[in-house]
Amino acid sequence: MQDEFDADSSPELSTSNTLYQIAREGMTLYVQIYLELSKQTSGFANIQAEQIQIFEQKLIILSGLDSSLDPTEASPQEVVQELFRMQAVPFDVESAITKGVYIQLRNRVENLLNELYIITKGLEEFDADYIQCNSYMLPILQRLANITSKAALKKQIGNVSDNAISQPAAKKLAEILNKRKPGQTMTRQQILQSIEPTLEGIVRDLVGRVLLERIVAKALDDANVPYKLESEYSYLEGVIYNFRADFVIPDEKFPKALIEVRKSSSRHASLYAKDKMFSAINWKGKNKELLAVLVVDGEWTSETLKAMTRVFDYVVPLNRSSDVATAIYEYLQGDISKLKWQINFSITPANLKIDKD
């Protein structure tokens, strides 16, 4: 349900008050701690108690194992023992990092709800001026108003976001809330539960935007490969349209390689595959010597992965990012054998002139 907020809660627009930005900052923090811990311990293969002294480090390890130990109470020695005891269990990087983000988000929502209860006299009296001046409250206010989608929100009160709410829109939202009086119809637990899909949507979005890309970026840094992130350039020129790849190497003016990072589920694999293959064809058709790399995570079907290998030069899992980073470095140094596919693709205007006899 992140479609309610993602278009307006972009990193460029968000303030530190919004749920999205809090989640983004939390994700960045936990990714950094994870990467540092993984490097120090050779991928958690040689971990010592003295290396996991703070709560965040213990939380990452125990969440990645889905352990029942409480990181607030477990000692570093107990965490090491748990890692040894469960070493055959696959370590879930996404769970390891997102658990802490969820904790931060839920704490933030609790604090916002406490504020609302006081300001609105038990969620019964809503003031338009307050709503306009505190737009970061929108995710909670939307749930209290029982507006379940961004489309419905726009239809009822106008184009708003958790960064800005106009006075007319604030008045409309206040009218809905004052008529509904959610404090009389919803318990605190029901309100918190209703916001969970929004939090899940925010975290899901950030897994792709921050988590996966930071791991790939670390691999490129370690291999001394220069690159630009999607947020650092305008577009990469293609045959049909100009758009941005997750990574362009070394830059968009003289591109030698691109990397797309995508997490999928088996249910959406075919759709994602078609989208990514078209993007690769679009870019490689314009840039003849462009190396195209797809880094994948999650549940992909074997059929879609095979199909993508007929367009992308490399299709690799997230945990092999360092290997493909090395291949890219070698390609930049002149090893043309790394280029597997060269796509000849162009679109030209048709000759509309009709010759008459």
For 260-315, what is each residue's pLDDT tens digit? 998 776 666 777 788 889 999 999 999 989 999 999 887 788 888 999 999 999 99
Q: Is residue 172 included in any domain, yes or no?
A: no
Q: Is residue 250 included in any domain, yes or no?
A: yes
Question: Which pLDDT tens digit goes with each residue over 201-244?
Answer: 999 888 877 888 888 998 999 999 999 999 899 999 999 999 99
Q: Is residue 84 included in any domain, yes or no?
A: no
Entry pTM: 0.72
Q: Is residue 230 included in any domain, yes or no?
A: yes
Q: Is residue 194 included in any domain, yes or no?
A: no
Q: How far is CA 57 from CA 2, 103, 180, 210, 306, in A?
A: 28, 14, 44, 19, 37
pLDDT for residue 3 is more than 50: no
Average pLDDT over residues 147-166: 91
Task: State the CB neighbour count (10 A cutoff) for residue 292.
Answer: 27
What are the two backbone dihedrals, phi and then psi, of residue 260, each rounded to the nearest 5 degrees? -110, 135
Q: Any long-range contacts for 5-11 (C-beta under 8 Å, 24+ apart)?
A: 5/138, 5/139, 5/150, 5/161, 5/162, 5/198, 5/201, 5/202, 6/201, 6/202, 6/205, 7/150, 7/161, 8/160, 8/161, 8/162, 8/163, 9/161, 9/162, 9/163, 9/202, 11/209, 11/231
Q: pLDDT value at position 164?
A: 92
Domain boundaries, position 240: 224-338
Q: Any long-range contacts for 340-343 (C-beta under 8 Å, 24+ apart)?
A: 340/313, 340/314, 341/284, 341/292, 341/310, 341/311, 341/312, 341/313, 342/284, 342/288, 342/289, 343/280, 343/281, 343/284, 343/285, 343/288, 343/311
In the chain, % of residues over pLDDT 90: 67
CA distance 312 to 291: 8
Q: pLDDT value at position 207?
A: 85
DSSP class of 91:
P
Burial of 152 (0-12, 13-18, 19+ CB in 10 A): middle
pLDDT for residue 353 is more than 70: no
pLDDT for residue 11 is more than 70: no
Q: Is residue 290 included in any domain, yes or no?
A: yes
Instruction: Find the angle CA(115)-CA(118)-CA(119) to the nearest 5 degrees.
Output: 85
If one counts the domains in the chain, the total is 1
